[in-house]
Structure 1
Amino acid sequence: MARERLNSGNERGIELPKAKLNRETLGHVSRLLSYLKPYRGKFIAALVCLFLTSLVGLAFPSFVGALIDTAQGKRTDDWLPATIPGILVLAFVVLGLQALISFFRILWFVTVGERALADIRRDTYLKLITLPMNFFAGRRVGELNSRISADLSQVQDTLTTTIAEMIRQAVLLVGGIVFMAIISKKLIFALLAVLPILIVSAVFFGRFIRKISREAQDKLAESNTMVEETLMGIASVKAFVNEPFEVKRYGGAIGEVAAIAIRGAKFRGMFSSFIVLCIFGGILGVIGYGCVLVSHGEITFGELLKFSLYSMFLGSSLGSFPELFANVQKTVGASERVLEILAEKGENVSTSEMADPIEQKIRGNLSFSHVSFSYPSRAEVEVLREVSFEASAGQRVAIVGPSGSGKSTTAALILQFYSPQSGEILFDGKLASQYSLTDIRNQVAIVPQDVLLFGGTILENIAYGKLSASREEVVLAAQRANAHQFIISFPEGYETVVGERGVKLSGGQRQRIAIARALLKNPSILILDEATSSLDSESERLVQEALEELMKGRTSIIIAHRLSTIREADRILVLEKGQIVESGTHQELIANEQGLYRYLSGLQFDVA
């Protein structure tokens, strides 16, 4: 039953809007195309080359027809040389020019497309990492990653290939019709009689193809999410011996992807078969009619051959539009999902690559005044209710309480990850809203229970606290955090790669690197979120010594599960169900025989 619930929850995913080709969705695409503006010079040049190569391509049936008519002594094209060698020389010159122009057309289109895509990726990533925590609470990492990878790859195909190909086929289509009309109006009218049927059919089949393509994209993104989440939690998968379950779950997902794709292929195959039948059947009938006109002397054999070649151009262009149209459908859907991210309101934080100087210095005074808070995803559950407390600069204030009482939420509010629904948070007597987010977060540091290290070196992970720090500053911070000795014991020292999420290091080693990172940041306010709760005794001793060094001279908010680590705190706040039920020093609280703090202490050690 538990597995069924898990499977059901994972398969629901997030409902995304369906892509439709209308004014609104085309407006979405045009917003992405605005990224071409910085490169419009090369883009226009590429378009010119595209038109030239397409027009030159239309000249070759004329060369072939002229060769045939010249060989038979029937000239109809006065703009070409009068001899076969002359026609061939001109044809090869034009072919050489077309080859040269085609090179620059492809190079410039790809250059513009790739650079525009890089700009879109950068802006999407920038928007993602500056979005508030509310945004990430209701979304899965795999889904967001799919938007930057799969969806933008679809946009990339359109920018670098589909747009150019659609324009080229449109030029060939229109140009072919014009040249065919010049050759014989009777033949072109006969051929164009089948076009309305093709257009109506394209609209009809296009609806099905669009819907199926979108379903396939969504299911594929869902299956990719499963892979990512499974690999991130691979230790749990192995510990519970759930490899067969995960394989079955993923197999079901990709099976649905394959089924949808096959269903889409059936419709595309039916459409393609219909197009082939209509186009080439129509062309064959028109050529037969052309043979009748040749026999009556109304056109020459060379003109019929030219008309036939232009008919092939026309058929090829019309035949390619269904696939190009399907790509546009996919791009519309992909662009909508990307623009959903770009349209989100981000946090007002600095995005400069250089470290911004702190505009408003925080001395370390912190105050909560009647703060109440509920997470947006669970608005009905009040996590904090009318919480009020003060921490003076340099004080150590501990927050304890049962699980779910609101301890970590308090830390999140101090860091301004969320804003309270009511009440005020003040730094040095000023409302948090009077400071920039950058200033607050530059002067508040957190050492969490579960330390996240990036996949680079130890040096890079410590320097993350201050990107401009020198190696000497990093080493000094590591020494103060009791980390230097174990770091230099590694063969590569500070250049040791810690692995994904720091898996190559023990829990205590990761904690001390996190402490070194916080020391390097030199914050005014420090948050310790159960920083020693999961360590063995020896690691806890080393980490506790590092924490003592870290807490010197700065306001410290200590969220603790092990009450033995907070006995020396200046003040202890006891939270229960989002409310402060007790407050005082360790001795004051332990003396209250009916108090929650004494009860919690009794669960951990003898208080008699």
Structure 2
Amino acid sequence: MSAASIKWVIGSSCLPRTFTVITKQFISFQRHHVLPQGLRSFHSHGSSAARLHLPSRIPVSTETHILSKGRCCKGSGSAKSPMWFSKRIFASAGRRYAKNSTSQVSEVSGQAGQHISKGNSKSKLPRLADVRRLFGLAEPEKWRLAVYFSCLVRFIPDAETLIIVFLIGGLANFGRVYSLHLASQRMVKRLREQLFSRIMRQEIAFFDKTKTGELVNRLSTDTSVVAQSLSHNISDGLRSIFQALGGIGMMLYVSSKLTLISMGIVPPVAVASIIYGRYLRNITKNVQDSLADATHVAEERIASIRTVRAFAHEEKERESYSQKVEKVLRLGYKEALARGIFFGFTGFSGNTVIISVFYFGGLMMLGSNITVGNLSSFLLYAAYVGISMNGLTSFYTELNRSIAASHRIWQLIDRQATIESTVSGLQPRSLEGQLQFNSVSFSYPSRADLPVFSGLDLSIPAGQVTAIVGPSGSGKSTLKVYNAEFYDAVTSFITLDGIDIKNLDPSWLRSNIGTVSQEPTLFSTSIAENIAYGAEKPEEVSLQEISDAAKKANAFNFITNFPSGFETLVGERGIMLSGGQKQRIAIARAILKNPKILILDEATSALDAESEYQVQEALERLMVEKTVLVIAHRLSTIKSANRIVVLSDGKAVESGTYEELISVKDGLFRKLVERQTITK
């Protein structure tokens, strides 16, 4: 074969780049050695398209031409180094031809069998809709991923430019790793933002039934699993697909009969892959659910560590958490067993293919239907396909894990809240604060069989103080959360200034209702940030506005006594502050909000005398020109209320001023006052 023929075979055929490097070393070896005639011809007989005859001496110009034009198509990179194959083939070039040919065929066949045994499987993908939605998350990162795939292109250098190619390869590897990792992190960010935004829009009843640890686990673990699948796993899977297709094409080119024999293992492996994929999705979902339970236990116990320590239950809680993670471990055992069986089966299948190829290939050689060189080439391509199939198997496994995790995420993202906080509605320009309850029936979604209100009728005049009293369980505190439309009643007609609250914008309604509860919730930030949280735009509140609100709430003095002043951190849920201090910060927050309707859930019931005086004085400033609803547990604190409503069994049974109700001898209000007086 002439040098021009060599150029055509190497330059135009989409062969693995290994072939080019082998040719280069062959030529280099011939410069210094005269090889036996048999070694100069890889295939002395057989298909003309597969033969490559080289002369005993090749000019340098021909070698350079081969190397410059002898690149194969994109994506044809071998899983093994080209230098590795070339060294193996030419290590014993000086030996006798017969001995050399036998050792090379044996060595190449053994190596091909090892690679095929790693997993000659073809996996069936899960539902197309799931995969399409999962891959859709990568759409915004398509340009960065394009940069990554462009960095996969490899170049075959000349010896003189090897150092330059190494530098280019290093830069390409940097671009691949950087762009892929960056795309993955950006996808995780967007997915977590979308999920967190959806969680924030759910109704309060959803949080009554859903564990906090489960939500945290979906935000952290599940999103990470999905992002991993969308970045590294997809890139490895696509590379394996193209490599497998290229290898199968070359196998068909060499011998279609042996290819059909090799592919005979695909159907049983595909069936096993489907069964394994379904089982893995179920196991992964159970693992994620169990991890969520363990996270919830850990979060709750750590948040309540003072209570745990007070009762000396550290060992009990350790055992409780250990049981949760033990359940995760047992599920991990099941997953490991299934994974071992599946990969063991694919490995056995690959070894079976190797034996079949050797057997039928030997028969074909005896019948002069295939040459030793063609059989060696076929085994090399089969090994190439085997490595790619092994990569596809791993890709399929991780894809099923990510689909199971994504289902948990889609459940939240697709969930529609029963009370949508972002639905647009009426936003009246002026608000008086007149509230009217007409035949309200209500029960908490988590306790649907226990009604709280049964036909409640209640009127709360604008600009007045209305106190709500009653025995435990009568529904006093429920009015607080229900007024802010946190829950939806079974049957109701509630109006604000004559407008049905269901027709009002939920955000506008809540912005006009302020609450100071018995146990206010503070965030683990500074005092200034907690006070500013009451404003519509907390980030725009000035320190002067925060200071003025603190002064009106009688909180300025104790705040400035702290070394860090308004920048003092309050700890988780305000644990670093006393009850009175937390109450006054909550009042300052309500003052900054300046709502038209104010709900006080016995804000002074748990305070000492001095703190109660400070808080009560601050509340009186806050209550000016507002509609105030006081949830009273200590009846002595409501004497100044304009009107008192007594609840019992979810209904309003008495109404009037303090003097009017206390004068009713058999009245419920009088009985409640007498019980508290006797108790004292």
Q: Give the TM bin, normalised by the shorter chain.
A: 0.7 to 0.9
Task: Please tell me the residue identity of whatever aligns with 2:222.
Answer: D
User: Aligned equivalents of 1:418 and 1:132: distance in 2?
Assistant: 7
User: Aligned equivalents of 1:229 and 1:191: distance in 2?
Assistant: 56
**Which of 517, 520, 545 is the matching residue for 1:473?**
545
User: Aligned equivalents of 1:382 and 1:491: distance in 2?
Assistant: 50
- For residues 586-606 of structure 1, give each alpha carbon's deviation from its aligned partner in whole angstroms, at most 9, with x where no partner exists: 111111121111111112226
Q: How far did residue 361 of structure 1 move?
A: 3.1
* Cα gap change, 1:187 to 1:28, in 2 (>3 Å): closer
- For residues 462-520 of structure 1, give each alpha carbon's deviation from its aligned partner in whole angstroms, at most 9, with x where no partner exists: 00001132111110000000100110010000000111111111111111000000000
The 10-residue stretch of structure 1 (590-599 or 177-186) with the greater mean CA deviation from structure 2: 177-186
**1:588 equivalent in alignment to 2:588:** no
Stretches of structure 2 that go unaligned for 5 or more consecutive residues are 1-123
The 10-residue stretch of structure 1 (185-194 or 525-534) with the greater mean CA deviation from structure 2: 185-194
**1:242 equivalent in alignment to 2:313:** yes
For 1:430-579, what aligned pairs fall within 5 Å after superposition? 430-466=499-535, 467=538, 468-579=540-651
For 1:372-411, what aligned pairs fall within 5 Å after superposition? 372-411=441-480
For 1:46-61, what aligned pairs fall within 5 Å after superposition? 46=148, 49=150, 53=153
Q: Secondary structure at the match of 1:605?
A: helix
User: Aligned equivalents of 1:307 and 1:93: distance in 2?
Assistant: 34
- Partner residue in 1 for 2:67: none
User: Aligned equivalents of 2:607 and 2:267: distance in 1?
Assistant: 75
- Partner residue in 2 for 1:327: 398
User: Aligned equivalents of 2:222 and 2:487: distance in 1?
Assistant: 29
User: Aligned equivalents of 1:534 and 1:32: distance in 2?
Assistant: 52
Q: How far did residue 364 of structure 1 move?
A: 2.0
- For residues 550-573 of structure 1, give each alpha carbon's deviation from its aligned partner in whole angstroms, at most 9, with x where no partner exists: 111211100011111111000011
Identity of aligned residues (%): 37
The 10-residue stretch of structure 1 (375-384 or 468-477) with the greater mean CA deviation from structure 2: 375-384
Task: Please tell me the residue identity of whatever aligns with 1:431.
Answer: D
Q: Secondary structure at the match of 2:138?
A: helix
Task: Please tell me the residue identity of whatever aligns with 2:132.
Answer: S
- Partner residue in 1 for 2:204: 133
Alignment check: 8 A CA contact 2:427 2:504 kept: no
- For residues 394-415 of structure 1, give each alpha carbon's deviation from its aligned partner in whole angstroms, at most 9, with x where no partner exists: 2000111112111111111211
Task: Please tell me the residue identity of whatever aligns with 1:166.
Answer: G
**Which of 126, 139, 149 is the matching residue for 1:37?**
139
User: Aligned equivalents of 2:459 and 2:661: distance in 1?
Assistant: 18
The 10-residue stretch of structure 1 (280-289 or 330-339) with the greater mean CA deviation from structure 2: 280-289
- For residues 346-393 of structure 1, give each alpha carbon's deviation from its aligned partner in whole angstroms, at most 9, with x where no partner exists: 3443599xxx99653322222222222122222222211222222222
Stretches of structure 1 that go unaligned for 5 or more consecutive residues are 1-19, 64-84
* Cα gap change, 1:284 to 1:557, in 2 (>3 Å): same
Alignment check: 8 A CA contact 2:460 2:466 kept: yes
Task: Please tell me the residue identity of whatever aligns with 2:572.
Answer: E
Q: Secondary structure at the match of 1:372?
A: strand
Q: How far did residue 452 of structure 1 move?
A: 0.8
Alignment check: 8 A CA contact 1:28 1:339 kept: no
- Partner residue in 1 for 2:671: 599
Task: Please tell me the residue identity of whatever aligns with 1:393.
Answer: A
- For residues 280-309 of structure 1, give each alpha carbon's deviation from its aligned partner in whole angstroms, at most 9, with x where no partner exists: 4533653676688789694464x6555444
For 1:186-265, what aligned pairs fall within 5 Å after superposition? 186-265=257-336
**Which of 123, 129, 144 is the matching residue for 1:27?**
129
* Cα gap change, 1:451 to 1:432, in 2 (>3 Å): same
Task: Please tell me the residue identity of whatever aligns with 1:458.
Answer: I
- Partner residue in 1 for 2:229: 158
- Partner residue in 1 for 2:105: none
Alignment check: 8 A CA contact 2:514 2:595 kept: yes
User: Aligned equivalents of 1:125 and 1:207: distance in 2?
Assistant: 29
User: Aligned equivalents of 1:27 and 1:193: distance in 2?
Assistant: 29
* Cα gap change, 1:430 to 1:197, in 2 (>3 Å): closer
- Partner residue in 1 for 2:98: none
User: Aligned equivalents of 1:287 and 1:107: distance in 2?
Assistant: 44
Q: How far did residue 94 of structure 1 move?
A: 8.3
Q: How far did residue 43 of structure 1 move?
A: 4.0
User: Aligned equivalents of 2:163 and 2:333: distance in 1?
Assistant: 45
User: Aligned equivalents of 1:271 and 1:535: distance in 2?
Assistant: 65
User: Aligned equivalents of 1:104 and 1:287: distance in 2?
Assistant: 43
Alignment check: 8 A CA contact 1:601 1:607 kept: no
User: Aligned equivalents of 2:352 and 2:138: distance in 1?
Assistant: 41
Q: Secondary structure at the match of 1:402?
A: coil
TM-score (structure 1 length as normaliser): 0.83
Task: Please tell me the residue identity of whatever aligns with 1:412.
Answer: V
Alignment check: 8 A CA contact 1:358 1:442 kept: no
RMSD over aligned Cα, in angstroms?
Answer: 3.1
User: Aligned equivalents of 2:281 and 2:458: distance in 1?
Assistant: 57
User: Aligned equivalents of 1:449 and 1:544: distance in 2?
Assistant: 13
User: Aligned equivalents of 2:353 and 2:166: distance in 1?
Assistant: 30
Q: Secondary structure at the match of 2:288?
A: helix
Task: Please tell me the residue identity of whatever aligns with 1:546.
Answer: A
Alignment check: 8 A CA contact 2:282 2:404 kept: no
Q: How far did residue 92 of structure 1 move?
A: 9.3
User: Aligned equivalents of 1:351 and 1:307: distance in 2?
Assistant: 65
Alignment check: 8 A CA contact 2:554 2:614 kept: yes
**1:270 equivalent in alignment to 2:341:** yes
Q: Secondary structure at the match of 1:367?
A: strand
* Cα gap change, 1:594 to 1:547, in 2 (>3 Å): same
Q: How far did residue 531 of structure 1 move?
A: 1.0
TM-score (structure 2 length as normaliser): 0.75
User: Aligned equivalents of 1:566 and 1:236: distance in 2?
Assistant: 33
User: Aligned equivalents of 1:332 and 1:127: distance in 2?
Assistant: 20
- Partner residue in 2 for 1:17: none
Task: Please tell me the residue identity of whatever aligns with 1:457.
Answer: S
Task: Please tell me the residue identity of whatever aligns with 2:619.
Answer: L
* Cα gap change, 1:226 to 1:368, in 2 (>3 Å): same
- For residues 120-139 of structure 1, give each alpha carbon's deviation from its aligned partner in whole angstroms, at most 9, with x where no partner exists: 21111111111111211211
* Cα gap change, 1:546 to 1:124, in 2 (>3 Å): same
- Number of aligned residues: 552
User: Aligned equivalents of 1:34 and 1:185: distance in 2?
Assistant: 38
Task: Please tell me the residue identity of whatever aligns with 2:450.
Answer: V
Q: How far did residue 111 of structure 1 move?
A: 3.0
User: Aligned equivalents of 2:266 and 2:422: distance in 1?
Assistant: 56
**Which of 174, 179, 184 is the matching residue for 1:113?**
184
- Partner residue in 1 for 2:484: 415
**1:342 equivalent in alignment to 2:444:** no
The 10-residue stretch of structure 1 (333-342 or 321-330) with the greater mean CA deviation from structure 2: 321-330
Q: Secondary structure at the match of 1:527?
A: strand
